[in-house]
Structure 1
Amino acid sequence: MAAEFVPGNRLTLLNSGTEYFPALLAAIDAAGIEIYLESYIFANDEIGHEVANALCRAASRGVQVNVTVDGFGAHNFTADFLDRLSAAGVRAMFYRQEIGRYHFKRHRLRRLHRKLVVIDARIAFVGGINIIDDNNAPVDMRPHYDYAVQVEGPVLQQVHHAARRMWETVSWVNFKRRYRLAPVATPVCQLAGDQRAAFLIRDNIRHRNDILNAYLGAIDAAKDDILIANAYFLPGLRFGRALYAAAKRGVRITVLLQGKSDHLLFRYATQTLYATALAAGIRIFEYEKSFMHAKVAVIDGQWATVGSSNIDPFSLLLAKEANLVVRDAAFAGQLAASVHQAMAVGARELLAAELSQQPLYSRFLRWLAYGVVRAMVGIAGYSERHWSTSETTPEEQ
């Protein structure tokens, strides 16, 4: 489905946890009706406990608090948080909880990767930031570098609908039909600002390609420049062709990727694309200051996106994702300036001469990593054709 841009919103860009969590905690503490929270990771650290405590306080004053975490990413949730949250009245569930032999089935690759909070249907947070402390990482990878957006205005109707729908779906799958209640809060759709935005999700039913198509439409229309900062970048054929076509017609393309990765297999697989991209005139930078987890883009200083979706087959073909897409010069400019600032202080540009000096065994290992990743997509039930064309089957997750 095409993005439905709604005017009249107020969007606040939040850079990493230092800006995100104070805003989130304040909004939770101000909640009076309901909270929906979705996260891939809910870490047993200082931030995790601060958020859990805030959710408990909200539930104790009568707020209906609904928490959905991924069964793989938040595998610690039962031991670390569930009893305390449940005792306070928080309703918590898992998306595809991994138990015993099912842990190794192909469905484990289909994850709830969204990072989404909706409070009283009047304010929402959309982005790539999990419930985890920025410094919960090896010393040389601290702090996390990521983005989220605080959303107010008419686009909340789209966000609230998606959050409620997810809760209903997971409730049904978990046989907790008592959780399937009528909406408590009505989305606040009054004008809050002057920014146009659309909320997009990726699932396996009606919205299989919404995020991908939004990217492709913006890239195909690009005239001047494309800036992408993405933690896990392994685009399929359609995305790659769109980028190369844009480069060929003179669009300046800059891609910021991880220089320090928590998934070396993915990093090595991505590096197999560097030579072709550089030959096409695409500039590639690796962020080496700390761990980069961002999933953002800015095109022609007018179009921007912030969300949970990486540009790889797992996000674009398998996972539940959520992105906010914005058409607003001020927001796009602010995001671009923030990414360029991060690049200036913490990134290194990759040059073709450097790649040509890599030993043969290093190139072989990278192509081997690329082959392994493609095999993983196949194990998940998607053939090479599906990856290449970014199509999916109608199978419901």
Structure 2
Amino acid sequence: MQWYSGNQLALLRSGTEYFPALLTALNAARHEIFLESYLYKPDKIGRQVSAALMRAARRGVSVQLLIDGFGARDLPPAFRESLAKAGVRLLFFRPEHSSFAINRQRLRRMHRKLVSIDGQLGFVGGINILEDHDGPDLAPRYDYALALRGPLTRQIRAAAAALWQQTCWSQFKMEWHRLPRRGTLPAPCGDIKAKLVKRDNLRHRRAIESAYLDAINKARQEVVIANAYFLPGISLRHALVTAAKRGVKVVILLQGRIDQALLHYATRVLYGPLLAAGVTIHEYTIGFMHAKVAVIDREWLTVGSSNIDPFSLLTAREANIVAMDKTLAEALRTDIQLHIDQHATTVHIHHVKRARWWQRALPWLAYQLVRGLMGLTGYGKREYRE
């Protein structure tokens, strides 16, 4: 996928920074809005975003809202009707028709979190449309997004428009298929080189995984990864181990609290081999982590929606920004390190070796179950064969 120079990228840390920026941009939209989200809740944040979308539609802005048919399946009918009455075009990507259907296609979800406004401003990251407070005793959900201006926003708009039109076609919404003509092409406004990397089930099946592999294999000093759901296949595991063995400092920050139990325990199978190779592992513990980012050699970075797990790498539609910029990379790396220093615990090899038998058996069973499920669906046989 093509690199674009002349971009301006701003790092947004969790919902605290993302939602004010998003709402400001929605309220300033003049021509069109595309918003994609896997989750969309009718909570305080969902109501604020919806109100901004409805205001935009009422003032003549073309508003396209695409949310996932599984992740957002519980959005109340009254909420949907309010959006429709205001003129917001709402579609569900692969809507759920039966909760009990056994079909491998159900795994092909739209997991992207992407926004395009007037073709001039874009947001890409891991933050869904919902409040980031999971409980009174927990820190706000830990996540990232990027705000972008410059030539790359043309590709963000194109990606959003293409998926919108494909969904319209599949659901016979031909009256929504036609979109406004593009406005002025975005002019260079910064000095950052970046690209949009998409994963789909056609031409770009392994695009995000390949971007990670290429950067890790070229690393000379440091690989820093913060990823909430981490169960890489053989290729990525081998790349991380090989990097550590050739002297690259490899640091991984993972979810410490149990969110998705099966994946949580399956991930622990990898701790022994990674730690033995010299990889450093930390677990984020003061709240729930949702970040999907990495910094390599303090210059290459990625921020997006893709986890490093079978769901994101093998089945879902994802979108990441990959950039080359020392200043932005250092800002992201510094923030990750702050969370490691203040909000995480370090996993040591003796924790794994001295674990009780059931503490070793549970991850093994979870991993075998993940492999079995993947075998049944036909996904990832090569990458998860061991």
**TM-score, normalized by the shorter chain, greater than 0.5:** yes
| Residue equivalent to 1:395 | none
Quote the offset at 1:384 in angstroms: 1.7
Residue aligning to 2:17: 19
1:368 and 2:365 matched: yes
Cα pair 2:283 2:344 within 8 Å, conserved: yes
Aligned residues: CA RMSD = 1.5
What's the % identity of the aligned pairs?
A: 47
For residue 242 of structure 1, what is the amino acid of its counterpart? A
For 1:65, the equivalent position in structure 2 comes to 63
Rounded Cα–Cα distance in structure 1 between residues aligned with 2:142 and 2:285? 11
Counterpart secondary structure, 1:164: helix
Identify the match of residue 131 of structure 2 among 108, 129, 133: 133
Aligned runs of 1:344-359 on 2, under 5 Å?
344-359=341-356
Partner of 2:88: 90
CA positional deviation for 1:294? 0.1
Q: Deviations over 1:127-164 (max 9, x none)?
A: 000001111x2444441000000010001121111000
- The answer on 1:38 being equivalent to 2:36 is yes
Q: Which runs of 5+ in 1 are unaligned?
A: 390-397
Count how many residue pairs are aligned between Structure 1 and Structure 2.
386
Q: Give me the whole-angstrom Cα distance separating, in 2, the residues matched to 1:308 and 1:181.
A: 27
SS at match of 2:40: coil
Give 1:274 deviation, angstroms.
0.2
Matches within 5 A, 1:1-397: 3-79=1-77, 81-100=79-98, 103-135=101-133, 137-186=134-183, 188-385=185-382, 387=384
Change in Cα spacing, 1:140 to 1:384, as seen in structure 2 (3 Å) is: farther
Indicate if the aligned counterparts of 2:13 and 2:144 stay in contact, CA closer than 8 A: yes
- Equivalent residue of 1:114, what SS? coil
Where 2:182 maps in the other structure, the secondary structure is coil
**Per-residue CA distance 1:266-299 (angstroms, 9 max, x = gap):** 1100001001100000000000011100000000
Deviation at 1:116, TM superposition (A): 0.4
Question: 1:273 aligns to what SS in structure 2?
Answer: helix
Contact persistence 1:111–1:319 (CA under 8 A): yes
The more displaced of 330-339 and 104-113 is 104-113
What SS does the corresponding residue of 1:227 show, helix, strand or coil? strand
Which is worse superposed, 262-271 or 177-186?
177-186
> Aligned to 1:291, what secondary structure does the other structure show?
strand
Given that 2:310 and 2:380 are in contact with CA atoms closer than 8 Å, whether structure 1 keeps it comes out as no
Worse overlay, 249-258 or 367-376: 367-376
TM superposition outliers: structure 1 runs of 4+ over 4 Å: 101-104, 386-389
Rounded to whole Å, the distance in 2 between the matches of 1:125 and 1:388 is 36
Shift in alpha-carbon separation, 1:59–1:143, aligned structure 2, 3 A: same
**One-letter amino acid matched to 2:199:** R
Alpha-carbon deviation of 1:344?
1.2
Tell me by how many angstroms 1:381 deviates. 2.6
Equivalent pair of 2:256/2:283 in contact (CA under 8 Å): yes
For residues 115 and 103 of structure 1, the distance between their equivalents in structure 2, rounded to whole angstroms, comes to 26
Are 1:39 and 1:113, in contact at CA under 8 Å, matched by a contact in 2? yes
Shift of 1:265: 1.1
Q: Tell me if structure 1 keeps the 8 A contact 2:234–2:383.
A: no
Contact 2:295 2:333 in 1 (8 A): yes
Do 2:149 and 2:189's aligned partners in 1 also have CA atoms closer than 8 Å? yes
Shift of 1:107: 2.2
Q: Determine if contact 1:168/1:180 at 8 Å carries over to the other structure.
A: yes
Per the TM alignment, residue 386 of structure 1 is displaced from its structure 2 partner at its CA by 5.5
Shift of 1:312: 0.7
Q: Distance in 1 between matches of 2:125 and 2:380?
A: 29
